[in-house]
Structure 1
Amino acid sequence: MQLPAVVTQAREFWQRLRTPQKLTIIGAVLAAVSIIAAIVASTSSQPMAVLFSDLDPKDAGTIVEKLKEQAVPYELADGGATIRVPESRVYELRLALAREGLPSSSTVGYEIFDRTNLGMSDFVQKLNHKRALEGELQKTIASFDEVQKVRVMIVLPEKALFEQEQKKPTASVLLHLKSGRSLSKLNIEGIQNLVASSVEGLSPADVTIVDQHGQILSQVPRETSTLAGLTATQYEQQQKVESYLTSRVQSLLDGVLGPGNSVVRVSAELDFTQREQTRENYDPDGQVIRSEERIAEARRSQDSLDYPAVNSESNATKVRTNYEISRTVERIVGGVGTIKRISASVLVNGTTKVVDHDGKKVIQYTPRSQEELQKLTQIVRNAIGYDPERNDQVSVVNLPFDTTVLDQPEEEPTFSLPRGNLVLGIAALLAVLAALWALRRLVLSPPLRRRIEEILVPNAVLHLAPDGPAVPALEPAAEAAPVAQLEEHRELSPYDELRQRVRAKLDSAAASGLSEEDLLIEEMKDRIRRFIHENNADAIKLIQSMINQEH
């Protein structure tokens, strides 16, 4: 078939349609085209990646203008602070924009001194040094995984003539944390010490850290020399010991009883008293000579009263020996934070099983035996390092747990689709329904229905009696023959049977105002529907042949 003929037939077919049918077909076609275009666009679009994020409005506007000049597709997010471009061109565009100094509001560090100015004043020099120091600290703190953006401000006072008049430097840090992230106490103290160690004369206590919500995160570092600082440190040490012992006992019970069948609480009393003891031990049997002194004296005397004189001589020797007893000196310094007493309380659930009670499934609770409780008590004692000399206490009690919330049936997870795919699916379904409705209106239009009946009825009748004799065409006189004459024939054709049943209904349908032709049409429609339902392939061929004859 040539193209002009096809166009002519299509024009004639379009002109035969009524206005509602034309509007329906146009709407269905437009909806289908729109859905197909949206699906193709969503599947063929290039993946986008972040070019820059957390931009100032000024830098974002400048970068967008540059992208428009280069005809680069882009997307804006986060209120214009984030710019996305095709993933394949991210690095190329970053290098190109960096050559033009974009973004210009990036953090400046010590690179500020790469270009020196001989005419720079001392005030500008100090200001640049402060900016460089703040920028380097911002870069360092921004490397934390939890930190999205950071701002550091340092106050450096002028040098005073007298030391007692010298003011201390201070610093403040503003942190923008990522969504759902937080910093631990150790991280906060680390930032405080990092900033304090980078600025001369700055103490960690003078560094204030605030998050984007205005909450103060920093705390004054504890000094163990003060009573308050020592008490806080002792309390943390006690919590660590209790948590450690609790986790040891809980892990053992979970392995024996199963998770959720035991609750453990451990209370530890620590002794933070610092004792220093000096002990001396003497061994009386271990005498040793410490020192020995010997004195020898020789004397000579002469009595002058006698004559001749009488001479006398005397010699004396003295020995002094000092003995030292063996002595041992011990200097003992007691440990700080030793365990003074431990108390452990353990709640144990019984066993449960599902039994059949009067045709219903019920949960039966069985308490644990005394032998099991004794074994569990011994396990807990070994886990905490039980010492009877410290007057430690361990209590294991069997009580039924409240599991009413756990016994409730869980809701079945619902299947969910991404919002974009859901919208496309709904739109595609609506387009298909609109097309089917338009086709139905077209097929069921009065001219087309009459044409289908003219073509399908003879074929349907022949199909209903394939093995019978050929059905002759009825003459007008035969059609008007009474029912009594039709019954005289031995073999009635299916078409005659159809007319016979229709005539039999005329009497009952006379009251409703239906004519013979109307009843005959309704019966033929019923036969056509059954024929189409039972012989889809033949019906399709008949419709195609009818359409070809129409054109």
Structure 2
Amino acid sequence: MAATTDTLADTPPPGNPVERLREAFNRLDGQQKMGLMIAIAAIIAIIVGTVLWSQQPDWKVLFSNIAEKDGGAIVASLEQQNIPHRMSDSGAIMVPANRVHEVRLKLASQGLPRGGMVGFELMENQKFGTSQFAEQVNYQRGLEGELARTIMSIGSVQSARVHLAIPKPSVFVREEQKPTASVLLNLYPGRGLEPAQIAGITHLVSSSVPQLASSNVTVLDQNGSMLSQLKNKLTEAGLDPTQIKYVREIENTIVQRIEEILKPVLGPENFKVQVAADIDFSQSEQTAEIYKPNSSPETSVIRSTQNNEMASVNQSAGGVPGALTNQPPVPATAPLTTPPTGNTGAPGKPGKPGENQGQVDAAGITAPLNALGQPISTTKNSTTNYEVDKTIRYTKQGMGNIRRLTTAVVVNHRKDVDKAGKPITKPLPEAEMKQINDLVREAMGFNKERGDSVSLANAPFTEITKPDHSLPVWKDPENISYAKDLLKYLLIAAIVAFLYLKVIQPSLKTMFPPPKPEEPTTAEGVAGAAGHVAISGEPGEDGEGAEVHIDHYAVKVQKARDIAQADPKAVANIIKDWMGANAA
């Protein structure tokens, strides 16, 4: 009993872990201490390096192929904003991948990059006393830069250069030289410009310079091909790109209408449609005047009426021709036989006062006389103009009318299964083909007078295997990014596991070796050793002297139970000693 108590008393109670580590470190010799320090330093270095490597960002290109002046301005702005960056071997500026878009927006707000060109900001730094020539040169440089920036906003244009040749105006020159311009475009790989875009660039430059005609603007690409000449050739040949586009739109519209009506009947992959449209782009104007035959006066509209009445005195010729005839008439004298003035009337009847007696001619018609007794001749004319029934027709025929439509439709055979269960195809019946033909005619707006035609064929389709253009899983950029991140974390976990199993755990076993068991000499010693085995989990000896190695907790507990059943008093004394030692 005393030996057991002494053995348990020699075992140091659990204290502060720092003190235990210090005591364990002091028990090591100089070589072990040096090895342990080197191992700890290596572990710390590996852990720090792994953490820094895992936190290192992925670098992506911010800008590439930029001018040196723009590159210097961008680097200065990044350093001012404390944004990490680096230069690649090809001269590209790289920033962390998660900040690419943010940095681009910040630089764009500062007007960077400028594309190696200057705009009208060149005019803001004019020095005092600048000559007119220098001011004109700076203005022309600024205008060229602004035009180049505007052209670069087109999606297919990567960069642009504009050169203006503006002659100096002079009052001593009769025929002034017109300004000209040249535009050099650097297009993105695999992209091109449509004729409408080329025309837009030409008119953009010509509208920005006074008296610059669009025909004096030359547009080139990076290969030296003259794009503006292609546009002029098409225009001279009568090929307007807008007209070609209009024809395609009409054809596509008709094809879409036919497909929409045939899809529910045949299925989307069982027919093909093609339409050719003949469009009339000529424009004509016609003016016609149509006159109807004369109608009766009762139904006609009077336009104007003119009545003329003329009275004249009939003077009979008298006298001898000659000078005497031209003498002025002598004063009139009333003859003795002339009835008194104012008495006129018919022959054989007395005249009434105030009337002149008329002269009776050979026909027995009495002509009126004037105051001198001369006969008066009266003429009356009446003219009536009627409105002419006229129709004026003005006709203007617009361009873009459809002359003729030609439609071709091919329908696939219907799929079926024969008696043996093999898939076969059968042609469609005539009634169904006629129904499809009628549907196509109605959908396209068939016009027989216009000369439209529809060709409908029924033939088996050849199955074409579409190539799979999708990237494999191991080539997908997104999957590659995920794999890199996963590999990074797996590598960190492997390093930590290696350090724990090969470095930390052996070092701990070296610093904290398990206590050696003591051989009991008495029953109490056996009980004490058994109790020590039950608590510490180290191997002890049984009553027969055989060595027992206990590797499992349940086995240890069962061993302690067996000892307690064999000698319960000894176990009780051991527990009392433990409690007394803890109380002390």
TM range (shorter): 0.5 to 0.7
- Please state if 1:3 is matched with 2:21: yes
Q: Which structure has the higher relative contact order (CA within 8 Å, separation 6+)?
A: 2
Alignment match of 2:144 (pick from 134, 159, 165): 134
- Please state if 1:342 is matched with 2:405: yes
In structure 2, the residue matched to 1:154 is: 164
In structure 2, the residue matched to 1:459 is: none
- Describe the SS at the equivalent of 1:269: strand
* Alignment gaps of 5+ in structure 2: 1-16, 320-334, 339-358, 362-366, 368-376, 507-541, 557-584
Alignment match of 1:402 (pick from 462, 467, 478): 462
Q: C-alpha distance in 1, partners of 2:105/2:396?
A: 68
Q: How high is the TM-score relative to the length of structure 1?
A: 0.61
Listed as ranges, the matches of 1:319-468 within 5 Å are 319-352=382-415, 363-406=423-466, 416-418=479-481, 420-421=484-485, 424=488, 427=491
Q: C-alpha distance in 1, partners of 2:472/2:71?
A: 46
- Describe the SS at the equivalent of 1:389: coil
Give the CA deviation at 1:109: 2.5
Q: C-alpha distance in 2, partners of 1:283/1:92?
A: 77
- Describe the SS at the equivalent of 2:212: coil
In structure 2, the residue matched to 1:41 is: 55
Give the CA deviation at 1:119: 2.5
**Structure with max Cα Rg:** 2
Q: C-alpha distance in 1, partners of 2:81/2:316?
A: 138
Q: Percent identity?
A: 32
In structure 1, the residue matched to 2:565 is: none
Q: C-alpha distance in 2, partners of 1:180/1:105?
A: 21
- Please state if 1:278 is matched with 2:287: yes
In structure 2, the residue matched to 1:248 is: 257
Q: C-alpha distance in 2, partners of 1:131/1:165?
A: 26
In structure 1, the residue matched to 2:276 is: 267
Judged with a 3 Å threshold, the aligned counterparts in structure 2 of structure 1 residues 236 and 8 are, in CA distance, closer, same or farther, namely same
Which letter maps to 2:391? T
Judged with a 3 Å threshold, the aligned counterparts in structure 2 of structure 1 residues 364 and 427 are, in CA distance, closer, same or farther, namely farther
Q: C-alpha distance in 2, partners of 1:14/1:236?
A: 87
Which letter maps to 2:301? V
Tell me if structure 2 keeps the 8 A contact 1:155–1:169: yes
Q: Which digits, 9 at most, give the CA deviation of each residue in 1:390-437, with x for residues without a partner?
A: 121112222221114159999986684326337537856986998899
- Please state if 1:257 is matched with 2:266: yes
Judged with a 3 Å threshold, the aligned counterparts in structure 2 of structure 1 residues 472 and 254 are, in CA distance, closer, same or farther, namely farther
Give the CA deviation at 1:232: 6.3
In structure 1, the residue matched to 2:301 is: 288
Q: C-alpha distance in 2, partners of 1:33/1:432?
A: 8
Q: C-alpha distance in 1, partners of 2:253/2:317?
A: 99
Q: Which digits, 9 at most, give the CA deviation of each residue in 1:88-122, with x for residues without a partner?
A: 99599969x97xx9979864332323343343223
Q: Which digits, 9 at most, give the CA deviation of each residue in 1:155-195, with x for residues without a partner?
A: 21233667774333222333444566654443332222111
Q: Which digits, 9 at most, give the CA deviation of each residue in 1:303-323, with x for residues without a partner?
A: 678999977535443333344
Which letter maps to 2:91? G
Give the CA deviation at 1:338: 1.7
- Please state if 1:168 is matched with 2:178: yes
Q: C-alpha distance in 1, partners of 2:236/2:197?
A: 25
Q: C-alpha distance in 2, partners of 1:172/1:296?
A: 83
Q: How high is the TM-score relative to the length of structure 2?
A: 0.58
Judged with a 3 Å threshold, the aligned counterparts in structure 2 of structure 1 residues 300 and 65 are, in CA distance, closer, same or farther, namely closer
- Describe the SS at the equivalent of 1:277: strand
Q: C-alpha distance in 1, partners of 2:318/2:83?
A: 142
In structure 1, the residue matched to 2:510 is: none
Give the CA deviation at 1:380: 1.9
Judged with a 3 Å threshold, the aligned counterparts in structure 2 of structure 1 residues 473 and 212 are, in CA distance, closer, same or farther, namely farther
Listed as ranges, the matches of 1:92-103 within 5 Å are none
Q: C-alpha distance in 1, partners of 2:29/2:269?
A: 77
Judged with a 3 Å threshold, the aligned counterparts in structure 2 of structure 1 residues 110 and 269 are, in CA distance, closer, same or farther, namely same
Q: Which digits, 9 at most, give the CA deviation of each residue in 1:9-56, with x for residues without a partner?
A: 9989999x9xxxxxxx99x979975884366324xx5x8788766542
In structure 2, the residue matched to 1:202 is: 212
* Alignment gaps of 5+ in structure 1: 18-24, 443-469, 475-531, 540-551
Q: C-alpha distance in 1, partners of 2:105/2:243?
A: 57
Listed as ranges, the matches of 1:60-79 within 5 Å are 60=71, 64=75, 73-77=84-88, 79=90
Normalized per residue, which structure has more helix?
1
Give the CA deviation at 1:217: 4.2
Which letter maps to 1:228? A
Tell me if structure 2 keeps the 8 A contact 1:109–1:131: yes
Q: C-alpha distance in 2, partners of 1:49/1:181?
A: 24
Q: C-alpha distance in 1, partners of 2:305/2:222?
A: 83
Tell me if structure 2 keeps the 8 A contact 1:149–1:177: yes
Q: C-alpha distance in 2, partners of 1:35/1:217?
A: 57
Q: C-alpha distance in 1, partners of 2:498/2:418?
A: 56
- Describe the SS at the equivalent of 1:390: coil
Judged with a 3 Å threshold, the aligned counterparts in structure 2 of structure 1 residues 353 and 171 are, in CA distance, closer, same or farther, namely farther
Give the CA deviation at 1:324: 4.2
Q: C-alpha distance in 2, partners of 1:278/1:65?
A: 73
Give the CA deviation at 1:69: 9.4
Q: C-alpha distance in 1, partners of 2:452/2:312?
A: 80
Q: C-alpha distance in 2, partners of 1:431/1:354?
A: 63
Give the CA deviation at 1:133: 0.9
Tell me if structure 1 keeps the 8 A contact 2:69–2:116: no
Give the CA deviation at 1:340: 1.5
Tell me if structure 2 keeps the 8 A contact 1:303–1:311: no
Q: C-alpha distance in 2, partners of 1:424/1:38?
A: 12
Q: Which digits, 9 at most, give the CA deviation of each residue in 1:211-260, with x for residues without a partner?
A: 44555444565599x76236766555434433332333234334543333
Q: C-alpha distance in 2, partners of 1:150/1:189?
A: 16
Q: C-alpha distance in 2, partners of 1:538/1:214?
A: 91
Listed as ranges, the matches of 1:199-238 within 5 Å are 199-212=209-222, 214-219=224-229, 228-229=237-238, 234-238=243-247
Judged with a 3 Å threshold, the aligned counterparts in structure 2 of structure 1 residues 116 and 345 are, in CA distance, closer, same or farther, namely same
Q: Which digits, 9 at most, give the CA deviation of each residue in 1:500-538, with x for residues without a partner?
A: xxxxxxxxxxxxxxxxxxxxxxxxxxxxxxxx9xx9998
Q: C-alpha distance in 2, partners of 1:140/1:176?
A: 14
Q: Which digits, 9 at most, give the CA deviation of each residue in 1:431-454, with x for residues without a partner?
A: 699889979xx9xxxxxxxxxxxx
In structure 1, the residue matched to 2:328 is: none
Judged with a 3 Å threshold, the aligned counterparts in structure 2 of structure 1 residues 321 and 155 are, in CA distance, closer, same or farther, namely same
Tell me if structure 2 keeps the 8 A contact 1:171–1:208: yes
- Describe the SS at the equivalent of 1:388: coil
Give the CA deviation at 1:198: 0.6
Judged with a 3 Å threshold, the aligned counterparts in structure 2 of structure 1 residues 250 and 162 are, in CA distance, closer, same or farther, namely farther
Q: C-alpha distance in 1, partners of 2:89/2:146?
A: 27
Q: C-alpha distance in 2, partners of 1:388/1:92?
A: 61
Q: C-alpha distance in 2, partners of 1:134/1:179?
A: 25
Q: C-alpha distance in 2, partners of 1:105/1:328?
A: 67
- Describe the SS at the equivalent of 2:465: helix
In structure 2, the residue matched to 1:111 is: 121
Which letter maps to 2:271? S
In structure 1, the residue matched to 2:564 is: none
- Describe the SS at the equivalent of 2:238: helix
In structure 1, the residue matched to 2:322 is: none
